[in-house]
């Protein structure tokens, strides 16, 4: 077992043998995969990892040497963090920094707690909105709330992606930059 001190917090992206992104693991776990020849390093991070016998660059992206079949979770859990991440930590109404979660159609009036009815919101907009709908206030949502989809979401969830992973994940949304 190599004595590897974690140097970066972002972890390492694991690709299947087919280069399909699978998951994010700790840098230590990725290093063990590489040292045990279960994976090869595709992109280095910053710095070196040292064990008793080895020194290797911090892995940022590793690819498994053997294909693994993985059943995918298709639903992204509706958590506070996940909602903030989807909305880029910005208020759905004024685009200011988000601090709260707003139910677009108020819960008090039967609005559902579902991806399509929640947005990140700043405290001021949330307070002003109260139990009214955006239409009643003449407000417009920056974008229609939707269930997050795509490879990046499946792999990252609410994690902040390392820019080095962009080649393998579909990170074209401007929100992912705001999340960094």
CB of 123 to Zn ion, least distance (A): 8
Residue 4 engages Zn ion in binding (rule: CB under 5 A): no
Find the shortest distance in angstroms from Cβ 138 to Zn ion.
15
Residues with Cβ within 8 Å of residue 25, at least 6 apart in sequence: 11, 12, 14, 33
CA separation for the pair 15, 62 (Å, rounded) = 6
Q: Strand 39-50 and strand 118-121: pairing?
A: unpaired
Contact partners, residue 119, CB within 8 Å, separation at least 6: 83, 87, 91, 92, 93, 101, 102, 104, 141, 145
Q: What are phi and psi of 129, to 5 degrees?
A: -70, -40
Residues 119-158 that bind Zn ion (CB under 5 A): 122, 125
Tell me the C-alpha distance between 67 and 159, whole Å: 25
Interacting residue with Zn ion among 13, 34, 43, 91 (CB under 5 A): 91
Residue among 113, 173, 109 at smallest CA distance from 143: 173
Q: Which is nearer to Zn ion, 134 or 157 (CB)?
A: 134
**At its nearest, how many Å lie between Zn ion and the CB of residue 97?**
9
Give the one residue of 12, 13, 27, 93 binding Zn ion; rule: CB under 5 A. Answer: 93
Q: Which helix (H) or strand (E) holds 83?
A: helix 80-86
Complex with Zn ion: residue 47 or 96, whichever CB lies closer: 96
Does the footprint of Zn ion cover residue 94 (CB under 5 A)?
yes
Smallest distance from the beta carbon of 103 to Zn ion, in angstroms? Answer: 15
d(CA 72, CA 4): 30
Print the binding letters for residues 107-126 with Zn ion: x by CB under 5 A, - otherwise.
---------------x--x-
CB of 90 to Zn ion, least distance (A): 8
96 makes contact with Zn ion (CB under 5 A): yes
The footprint of Zn ion (CB under 5 A) covers 91, 93-94, 96, 122, 125
């Amino acid at each position: 077992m190599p004595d590897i001190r974690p140097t970066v917090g972002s972890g390492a992206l694991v690709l299947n043998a087919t280069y399909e992104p699978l998951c994010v693991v700790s840098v230590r776990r990725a290093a063990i995969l590489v040292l045990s020849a279960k994976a090869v390093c595709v992109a280095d991070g910053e710095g070196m990892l040292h064990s008793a016998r080895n020194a290797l660059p911090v892995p940022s992206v590793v690819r498994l040497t053997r294909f693994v079949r993985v059943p995918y979770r298709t639903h992204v859990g509706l958590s506070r963090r996940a909602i903030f991440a989807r909305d880029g930590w910005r208020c759905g109404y004024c685009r200011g920094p988000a601090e709260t979660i707003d139910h677009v159609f108020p819960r008090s009036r039967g609005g559902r707690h579902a991806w399509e009815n929640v947005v990140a919101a700043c405290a001021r907009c949330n307070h002003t909105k109260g139990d009214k709908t955006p239409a009643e206030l003449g407000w417009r949502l920056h974008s229609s709330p939707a269930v997050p989809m795509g490879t990046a979401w499946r792999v990252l969830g609410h994690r902040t992606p390392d820019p080095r992973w962009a080649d393998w994940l579909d990170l074209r949304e401007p929100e992912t930059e705001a999340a960094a």
